[in-house]
């Protein structure tokens, strides 16, 4: 698609399905990333007892390489964590390990790495998981891997101008329509305006920007965001918000993503919020207790 190409709401479904198919066709790794539902259909066909069954805990549910990366908390601390919790449920932690192991193996295969390298990668994944279960990092723990340190350093060096250059092409307070950002209809724009009138949303935006409740939050532009792979076809929006405090203005780009039914199975007998958005939030709030265990990188730390 050309950089200037955009789609009206009625044209989105076909365009998104075409884009998802093209992404998945690029490599075995991309196919694994984009086919969460088929992954769990495959797991569901295995005989009971084929996989180890750990204690029911909040899992990512879609733990592949593309969903690991830098995340900042409200205090500006950046750590490497799971960044996508669409599929989070209270379930078998083995599912996260199998999903991540399959992602690593398919990435290695696509890079023509020998089988022994794949085996070593999976060994290190399991070793990192075990280390994460042992608790917080201590002085005697292994040093942080260079790749984790490099990713964190790059994330810490990023500012609004970098985000604007990548996503908005300039720093003007508008979202240019094109290959990634598509036009909204009147109903969508009105609904998004209502979202940012909600007191909980407003408080969250201010907290993430380190501002007090006296600040003003106003939606100034929004667009449909063509982003992701397995989630293509669900609602996703980019919202450009202006925040004013004591006469000073700043901009924030908010990612809003539709919460849908999880393909990852919940453990028998556990209670998971029936509202999909509440489920995602509950999993996110619990992630500090399991993020290090899910991430074999040796480190733990958006609106969905």
Q: What's the pLDDT at 61?
A: 92
- Give me the phi and psi of 105, to 5 degrees please: -65, -40
Torsion of CA 267, 262, 208, 232, to 10 degrees: 160
pLDDT in tens, the chain (304 residues): 444 566 778 788 888 888 888 888 888 888 888 888 889 999 888 888 899 998 999 999 999 988 888 887 767 677 778 888 889 999 999 999 999 999 999 988 888 888 899 999 999 888 888 877 776 655 555 666 676 777 777 776 666 556 655 555 554 578 888 888 999 999 999 999 999 988 888 888 887 766 667 788 889 999 999 888 777 788 999 999 888 877 777 888 889 999 989 999 999 889 999 999 999 989 888 865 444 444 433 333 233 3
pLDDT for residue 292: 42
pLDDT score at 209: 67
Do 264 and 93 touch, CB atoms closer than 8 A? no
Distance separating alpha carbons of residues 34 and 23, to the nearest angstrom: 8
Cα separation, 37 vs 22, whole angstroms: 18
Cβ contacts of 92 within 8 Å, gap of 6 or more: 51, 53, 54, 56, 59, 265, 267
Of 52, 64, 89, 20, nearest in space to 263 by CA: 89
Record the pTM.
Answer: 0.64
Determine contact, residues 78/70, Cβ cutoff 8 Å: yes
């Amino acid at each position: 698609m050309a950089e200037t190409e955009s789609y009206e709401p009625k044209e989105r479904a076909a365009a998104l399905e075409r884009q998802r198919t093209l992404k998945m066709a690029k490599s075995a790794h991309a196919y694994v990333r984009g086919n969460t539902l088929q992954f769990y259909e495959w797991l569901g066909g295995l005989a009971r007892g084929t996989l180890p069954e750990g204690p029911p805990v909040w899992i990512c549910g879609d733990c592949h390489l593309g969903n690991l990366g830098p995340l900042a908390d409200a205090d500006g601390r950046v750590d490497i964590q799971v960044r996508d919790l669409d599929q989070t449920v209270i379930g078998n932690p083995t599912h996260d390990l199998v999903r991540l192991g399959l992602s690593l193996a398919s990435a290695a295969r696509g890079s023509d790495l020998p089988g022994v390298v794949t085996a070593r990668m999976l060994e290190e994944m399991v070793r990192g998981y075990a280390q994460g279960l042992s608790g917080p990092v201590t002085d005697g723990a292994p040093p942080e891997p260079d790749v984790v340190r490099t990713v964190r350093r790059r994330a810490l060096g990023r500012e609004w101008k970098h985000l604007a250059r990548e996503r908005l092409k300039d720093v003007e307070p508008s979202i240019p329509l094109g290959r990634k950002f598509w036009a909204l209809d009147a109903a969508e724009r009105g609904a998004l305006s209502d979202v940012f009138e909600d007191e909980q949303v407003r408080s969250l935006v201010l907290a993430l920007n380190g501002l007090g409740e006296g600040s003003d939050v106003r939606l100034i532009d929004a667009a449909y965001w063509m982003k992701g792979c397995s989630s293509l076809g669900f609602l996703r929006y980019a919202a450009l918000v202006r925040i004013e405090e004591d006469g000073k203005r700043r901009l924030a780009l908010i990612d809003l993503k539709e919460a849908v039914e999880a393909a990852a199975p919940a453990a028998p007998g556990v209670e998971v919020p029936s509202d999909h958005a509440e489920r995602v939030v509950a999993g996110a709030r619990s992630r500090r207790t399991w993020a290090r265990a899910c991430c074999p990188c040796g480190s733990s730390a958006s609106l969905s």
